[in-house]
């Protein structure tokens, strides 16, 4: 588990690398400004999807970018 400082730094680096400095800041402002119930969003996110359909979509998405590997590489490159 990362410390809060490492998590913040890694998160910002990922945002900046995939957006721009300005867009990353805008994203942070949006998250802070608007009330957002993550738990409720998650409960409704895959409503109506079967487990099989969800699994297939997840495998296809993972195959596109392998996000865990990309995040780990950026984390390693950052530090």
Would you state the pLDDT for residue 75? 52
Which residue intervals of the chain are DSSP H helices?
A: 4-18, 21-33, 38-45, 51-65, 67-78
Flag residues of the chain having pLDDT under 50.
none
Full-model pTM: 0.45
**Are the CB atoms for 17 and 73 separated by under 8 Å?**
no
Radius of gyration of the chain (CA): 16
Would you state the pLDDT for residue 22? 92
Q: pLDDT tens digits for 42-62?
A: 778 888 889 998 888 888 877
Would you state the pLDDT for residue 70? 56
Would you state the pLDDT for residue 77? 58
Would you state the pLDDT for residue 72? 57
Could you tell me the two tokens for 43?
């409960």
């Amino acid at each position: 588990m990362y410390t809060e400082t490492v998590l913040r730094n890694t998160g910002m680096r990922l945002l900046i690398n995939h957006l721009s400095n300005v867009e990353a800041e805008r994203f942070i402002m949006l998250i802070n400004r608007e009330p957002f119930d993550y738990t409720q969003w998650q409960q409704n996110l895959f409503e109506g999807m079967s487990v099989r359909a969800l699994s297939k979509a997840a495998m296809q998405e993972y195959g596109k970018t392998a996000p865990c590997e990309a995040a780990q590489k950026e984390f390693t490159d950052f530090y």
